[in-house]
């Protein structure tokens, strides 16, 4: 039996509702959380990731989002707090706060912008997780961080027993397969929604995705069908999912998902500047996407 098996499943990368001035819209955020729990039926939420526009926020705003998410979700689902930052002291403080709130695990993106050595990256992860009694999931997203790690380097990080897995947001299925074979007792979550089926075939333990905020039901179907070996059925749903994702990406990822939530009665608010919110043209396209795939 895999250790930490309680953390398997489908997690929405939580969107955050902001007002016109970039402040957290608590009412809207609570509505997004409820929508994920009640309508999308997710197993958990990944709070404070890229989808939450996290890297544009102050430490206090990040704490506010962690607090609201825990208060709204209570213990009904699993909660992972993404605390990663290029300021490791902020990460430690956030890790401690999320742990005090009762988050089931923390996660941290690989430190970015500067070309950190692997030894510096290893020190960063150990510094964060050794500051709390909790579990840590590495957030690997090389396309945005420029940080690529090998199977052996993941293994070095996994030597710390409190580092239990990785959110694998990459299209490198060779590396994914090698990781799965080398570390069968560690959790691997797929991070690219459009590639969930091939990742599932490689033996992932779940997935964390931004489009799950509106497409969580299909995400679960793909995952569970793949686990049951029903690949042809899963592929049909992945086709529809990828048609939806293609349309969303062409219209602007986060603004469009927020508009799709609004069409379901959820106060998803504005994007955090400098990210632009949807204009009238994008709103019209979002309505077409909703009618075609979610209505």
Burial pattern 12-48, b for ≥16 Cβ within 10 A else e, equals bbbbbbbeeebebbbebbbbbbebbbeebebbbbbbb
Q: What is the pLDDT of residues 171-213, one digit of tens each?
A: 999 999 999 999 999 999 999 999 999 999 999 999 999 999 9
What residues are labeled active site?
139, 167
Separation between Cα atoms, residue 21 and residue 41, nearest integer Å: 31
Contacts of 166 (CB under 8 A, 6+ apart): 137, 138, 139, 140, 154, 179, 186, 187, 188, 189
Complete domains list, the chain, with CATH? 7-230 (3.20.20.70)
210 is in an annotated binding site: yes
90: Cα separation from own chain's centroid: 20
Alpha helices (H) along 39-87: 59-73
Residue 146: the pLDDT is 76
- Residue 155, φ and ψ in degrees, nearest 5: -60, -40
Closest CA to 147 of 172, 123, 175, 111: 111
Q: Over range 82-99, report the average pLDDT.
A: 98
Residue 166: the pLDDT is 97
DSSP state of 185: T
140 is in an annotated binding site: no
51 is in an annotated binding site: yes
203 is in an annotated binding site: no
Which tokens is 34 given?
Answer: 């409820």
Contacts of 100 (CB under 8 A, 6+ apart): none
DSSP state of 162: T
Which tokens is 77 given?
Answer: 């689902």
Question: pTM score, two decimals?
Answer: 0.97
- Residue 24, φ and ψ in degrees, nearest 5: -60, 125
Percent of the chain clearing pLDDT 90 (strictly above): 94
Closest CA to 266 of 61, 40, 42, 30: 30
81-to-32, 49, 151, 161, 165 alpha-carbon distances in Å: 16, 8, 25, 18, 14
Q: Has residue 127 got a pLDDT over 70?
A: yes
30 or 149: which carries more pLDDT confidence? 30
Q: Over range 111-115, report the average pLDDT.
A: 93
Q: Over range 98-119, report the average pLDDT.
A: 96
Closest CA to 53 of 29, 78, 77, 87: 29
Q: Has residue 2 got a pLDDT over 70?
A: no
211 is in an annotated binding site: no
| Confidence at 1, pLDDT banded by 50, 70, 90 | very low
Separation between Cα atoms, residue 123 and residue 119, nearest integer Å: 6
58-to-23, 83, 98, 112 alpha-carbon distances in Å: 11, 12, 15, 17
Q: What is the pLDDT of residues 228-286, one digit of tens each?
A: 999 999 999 999 999 999 999 999 999 999 999 999 999 999 999 999 999 999 999 99
């Amino acid at each position: 039996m895999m250790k930490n098996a309680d953390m398997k499943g489908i997690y929405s990368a939580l969107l955050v509702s902001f007002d016109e001035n970039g402040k957290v819209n608590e009412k809207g955020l609570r509505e997004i959380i409820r929508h994920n729990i009640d309508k999308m039926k997710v197993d958990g939420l990944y709070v404070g990731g890229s989808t939450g526009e996290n890297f544009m926020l102050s430490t206090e705003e990040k704490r506010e989002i962690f607090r609201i998410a825990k208060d709204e979700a209570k213990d009904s689902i699993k909660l992972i707090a993404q605390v990663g930052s290029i300021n490791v002291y902020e990460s430690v403080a956030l890790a401690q706060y999320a742990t005090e709130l009762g988050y089931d695990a923390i996660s941290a993106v690989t430190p970015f912008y500067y070309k950190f050595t692997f030894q510096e990256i290893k020190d960063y992860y150990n510094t964060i997780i050794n500051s709390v009694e909790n579990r840590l999931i590495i957030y690997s997203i090389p396309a945005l961080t420029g940080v690529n790690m090998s199977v052996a380097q993941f293994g070095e990080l996994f030597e710390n027993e409190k580092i239990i897995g990785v959110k694998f947001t990459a299209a490198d299925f060779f590396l994914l397969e090698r990781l799965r074979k080398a570390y069968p007792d560690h959790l691997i979550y797929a991070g690219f929604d459009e590639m969930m089926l091939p990742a599932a075939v490689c033996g992932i333990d779940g997935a964390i995705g931004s489009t799950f905020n509106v497409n969580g039901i299909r995400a679960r179907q793909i995952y569970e069908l793949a686990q049951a070996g029903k690949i042809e059925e899963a592929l049909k749903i992945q086709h529809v999912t990828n048609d939806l994702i293609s349309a969303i990406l062409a219209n602007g990822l986060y603004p469009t998902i927020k508009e799709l939530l609004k069409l379901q009665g959820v106060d998803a608010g504005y994007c955090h500047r400098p990210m632009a919110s949807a204009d009238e043209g994008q709103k019209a396209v979002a309505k077409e996407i909703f009618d075609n795939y979610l209505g």
